[in-house]
């Protein structure tokens, strides 16, 4: 036998051994897979093979919470997403991109909000599951029902999650649900426990406060200061206000989200006014969209708060006369799609009951959360007061 033939035989043997090991590895990975039935936040029973390894985020705004639950290898699990964040949540996207530049190459499947969602693109990526927000389903975007049916028929599980309609109960349920599908139950449980502990500090203390609850008007900074933006009734920010011990003046007037009548606001005369979502966009007269607060600059935010006090009749409001106007910069619906409401409810409780909650530090708790669970530090939650 020649030396050349001997080496060829050795090489062939090694190839067979390695192929066998690779096949065994695949078998082992498959043997760890199992199929479970989960109940999503729309009450649907969905069959999912776990642990899911190829996930599509139908809205990439869920990236912060998903990355917290998934852990350090979160990016390996995202095979596609509906891209909105690079436009509307620029600060968050910038921080992720610094550490994970490959995030820019995640395939875009489009979104129903823009009318660009593509079932074909989803199918081509062959995901184990796709996560979809409840608010998008409830808004009944054109084609969404048919698309979800098509995905189901193609064997692609679509699981509905929610961090908006009920930002407290549903945030915990959604986090534990995602954890169960990723095989990250323990980590999801730690996140949920942290969340419950921080919210519990507010709820338990409120139970012992006997004074009248302040009347609060909350407005999303979705338009120019002279124009009224949206407010929330029994969902989203409305639930947050109630949890913080406020009387939400929009409750019973607006069902979920809408614009309050100026006459009603003036008549109700709120004690406190809170403006949110400065990280979003407002519509300019020339139909161009303008970022309100880029690069964490608080001056435009303070300018906005001062500008709304110039609205007709606002000079007579108790909130304006007493300087009880506050702002929360949440980077464009950042709160609505993630598990950060524990910090927001603490901030609002401090504004409503400063003596009772003077020891709470929502910023420090948010920072601790990001240190413990987040792959990047991107504390976009800025809270300011007009009288400071």
CATH class of 32-193: alpha beta
How much of the chain, in percent, has pLDDT values that exceed 90? 57
* Domain locations along the chain: 32-193, 209-385
Q: Does 278 have pLDDT greater than 70?
A: no
Beta strands across the sheet bearing 382-385: 247-248, 215-220, 272-276, 325-329, 382-385
pLDDT of residue 303: 83
Q: What is the mean pLDDT of residues 6-32?
A: 50
Domains 32-193 and 209-385 share a fold: yes
Q: What is the pLDDT of residues 351-366, one digit of tens each?
A: 999 999 999 998 889 8
Q: Cβ(327)–Cβ(384) under 8 Å?
A: yes
Q: Is 321 exposed, middle or buried (0-12, 13-18, 19+ CB in 10 A)?
A: exposed
With bands split at pLDDT 50, 70 and 90, how would you rate the model's confidence at 286?
A: very low
State the chain's mean pLDDT as an integer: 84
pLDDT of residue 26: 45
- pLDDT higher at 295 or 215: 215
pTM for the structure as a whole: 0.84
Q: Is 100 exposed, middle or buried (0-12, 13-18, 19+ CB in 10 A)?
A: middle
Q: Which residue has the tokens 């910038």?
A: 94
pLDDT of residue 89: 55
Q: Compute CA 346 distance to the chain's CA centroid, rounded to the nearest angstrom.
A: 18
What the block records as the tokens of 213 is 């609850």
- pLDDT higher at 299 or 7: 299
Which CATH superfamily groups domain 209-385?
A: Nitrogenase molybdenum iron protein domain (3.40.50.1980)
Q: What is the pLDDT of residues 79-117, one digit of tens each?
A: 999 987 554 456 677 788 889 999 989 999 998 888 899
């Amino acid at each position: 036998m020649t030396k050349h033939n001997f080496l060829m035989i050795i090489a062939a043997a090694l190839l067979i051994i390695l192929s066998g090991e690779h096949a065994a590895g695949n078998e082992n990975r498959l043997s760890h897979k199992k199929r479970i039935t989960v109940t999503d936040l729309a009450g649907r029973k969905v069959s999912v093979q776990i642990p899911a390894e190829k996930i599509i985020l139908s809205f990439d705004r869920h990236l912060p919470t998903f990355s917290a639950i998934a852990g350090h290898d979160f990016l390996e699990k995202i095979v596609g997403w509906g891209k909105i964040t690079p436009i509307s949540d620029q600060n968050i996207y910038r921080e992720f991109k610094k550490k994970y530049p490959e995030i820019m190459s995640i395939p875009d499947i489009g979104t129903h909000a823009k009318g660009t969602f593509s079932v074909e693109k989803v199918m081509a990526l062959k995901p184990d599951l796709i996560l979809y927000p409840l608010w998008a389903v409830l808004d009944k975007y054109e084609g969404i029902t048919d698309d979800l049916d098509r995905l189901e028929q193609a064997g692609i599980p679509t699981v509905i999650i929610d961090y908006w309609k009920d930002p407290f109960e549903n945030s915990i349920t959604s986090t534990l649900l995602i954890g169960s599908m990723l095989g990250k139950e323990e980590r999801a449980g730690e996140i949920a426990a942290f969340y419950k502990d921080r919210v519990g500090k507010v709820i338990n203390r409120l139970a012992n406060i006997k004074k009248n609850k302040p009347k609060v008007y909350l407005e999303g900074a979705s338009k120019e200061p002279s124009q009224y933006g949206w407010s929330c009734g029994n969902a989203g920010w409305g639930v947050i206000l109630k949890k913080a011990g406020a009387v939400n003046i929009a409750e019973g007037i607006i069902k979920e989200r809408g614009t309050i009548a100026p006459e009603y606001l003036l008549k109700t005369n709120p004690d406190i006014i809170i403006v949110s979502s400065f990280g979003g966009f407002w519509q300019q007269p020339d139909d161009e969209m303008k970022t309100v607060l880029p690069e964490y600059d608080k001056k435009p935010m303070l300018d906005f708060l001062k500008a709304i006090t110039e609205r007709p009749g606002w000079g007579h409001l108790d909130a304006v006369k007493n300087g009880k106007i506050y702002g929360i910069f949440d980077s464009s619906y950042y709160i609505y799609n993630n598990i950060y409401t524990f910090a927001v409810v603490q901030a609002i409780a401090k504004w409503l009951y400063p003596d009772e909650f003077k020891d709470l530090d929502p910023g420090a708790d948010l920072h601790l959360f990001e240190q413990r669970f987040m792959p990047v530090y991107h504390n976009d939650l800025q809270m300011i007061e007009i009288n400071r």
